Amino acid sequence: MAEAHTKSPFSRTLPERLRAKPKHKNIQKARLKHGSRPASPPPPPFSVLPPPQDAASSPFLTRFFALPTEIRLQIYRLLLVRPCKFDLTHKFGCHTGIVGFPAAIFDDLYYMPTFRCADCATWRWRTQETEEALSTDTPARSAWARPKRNPYLCDRCYPEMQYRLGLEKWPHMMEYLHCLCARRENLGVLLINRRIYDEAWPIFWAENTFAFESGRLIVDFLEEIPEEKRARIRSIALLSPKQQPMGTEEEELRDCWPLLRACTGLRELELDAGLLNSRDFVRELRTLRAGKVRFIEKSKHIGFDSYDQGYRERKVTPWLAYRREYTDELSELLVTSMTQEVVDEEPIGRAWGKRPRIMPDEED
């Protein structure tokens, strides 16, 4: 005969018995007064919890991938594609470029005590005179930057140390960075999962205009990206926002020409007209290939008639936002050589010898 089992009405675990025990009347009155409720029951054991959902099987991604491919690609464009950096305006709340407000150049952050390290501000790290938090990373440091080999050095000392050790070609300073309004956004979309990455990365590289203000920036950028992505780039702008023409940066620009030739998918190329001042640069430009080439000179008259107009314009790079195409005999020969058929070096050399040089006072 099977034994009869009876289930005890009392819990065997101490926490459950304590929760089920009637509380003192004063405790019950206090809970009623303050509107509090007894603690919620404990979660079920781990064995009965549902397994965590994989990112690929989440309801949102399931509905997202159910959309037609054309709609998904358009969503990627809205998130990842933007106009050229030189055509952007300041975001709401940024006072840079408004008459009456000083420009918050991020290069000045190097000298703020908050963002100094023990190497260049030993006294501050020893004394801790203020309660202000100390940090070695400025707000201008990119979230996608490589981690520092020495995390205790600030953004001012670390590039110089890398340069002295021979790990960098030149020290990277945040020159001409007045704000972060031109920083790219929504790049985290590429990290959601592999399928989104495979669908979105060709759009990011092919439909954006990658703009650079100096030779060092374009060299470092093109050296870091894989050859497959480099071949996808269709539009590049190499313009200097400084007063002097870009042709004065011969050491920095020497390594960029082979990298530009490796961009086999180039369709649009904007180049600083100051490059035409150098005979060596003209020889290198003659070997580049692109569908459309423009030589650009910076606007000569940049200024706002009133505070309201300045507030409406709010260009991130005013000298390049109003840029215009530069044309002369040499530039026309180079455009023909780069877009259609290679022109002999002899007529290009004659045109270079006859043309006037672009000087800083002519550009600004």
CB atoms under 10 Å from CB of 237, counted, come to 23
Whether the pLDDT of residue 76 is over 90: the answer is yes
State pLDDT tens for residues 247-306. 556 677 888 899 999 999 999 999 998 888 888 888 889 889 999 999 988 765 544 444
- 324-325 and 292-297: which strand pairing? antiparallel
Highest-scoring range by mean pLDDT, 7-21, 81-95, 306-320: 81-95
Whether the pLDDT of residue 229 is over 80: the answer is yes
For residues 237 and 364, which has the higher predicted lDDT (pLDDT)? 237
Q: What type of residue is 181?
A: C
State pLDDT tens for residues 93-111. 776 655 555 555 555 555 5
User: What residue spans define the domains of the chain?
Assistant: 61-92+185-363, 106-175
At 361 the pLDDT is 46
Whether the pLDDT of residue 153 is over 70: the answer is yes
At 309 the pLDDT is 52
State pLDDT tens for residues 185-207. 899 999 999 999 999 999 999 99
Question: In the predicted model, what is the mean pLDDT of residues 224-250?
Answer: 80
Highest-scoring range by mean pLDDT, 9-23, 167-181, 192-206: 192-206
At 187 the pLDDT is 92
Whether the pLDDT of residue 28 is over 80: the answer is no
Provide the CA 265 distance to its chain's centre, in angstroms.
22
At 101 the pLDDT is 57
Whether the pLDDT of residue 149 is over 90: the answer is no
At 306 the pLDDT is 44
Question: In the predicted model, what is the mean pLDDT of residues 336-362?
Answer: 78
Whether the pLDDT of residue 169 is over 70: the answer is no
At 10 the pLDDT is 55
Pick the range with the lowest mean pLDDT from 8-12, 229-233, 289-293, 331-335: 8-12
CB 199 within 8 A of CB 76: yes
Highest-scoring range by mean pLDDT, 39-43, 79-83, 96-100, 335-339: 79-83
Highest-scoring range by mean pLDDT, 1-10, 210-219, 224-233: 224-233
At 12 the pLDDT is 60
At 71 the pLDDT is 95
State pLDDT tens for residues 327-344. 889 889 999 988 888 788
Question: In the predicted model, what is the mean pLDDT of residues 302-318?
Answer: 59
At 25 the pLDDT is 75
State pLDDT tens for residues 45-75. 544 445 555 555 678 889 999 999 999 999 9
- Distance CA(300)–CA(294), nearest Å, equals 18
Percent of the chain with pLDDT over 70: 65
Average pLDDT for the chain: 76
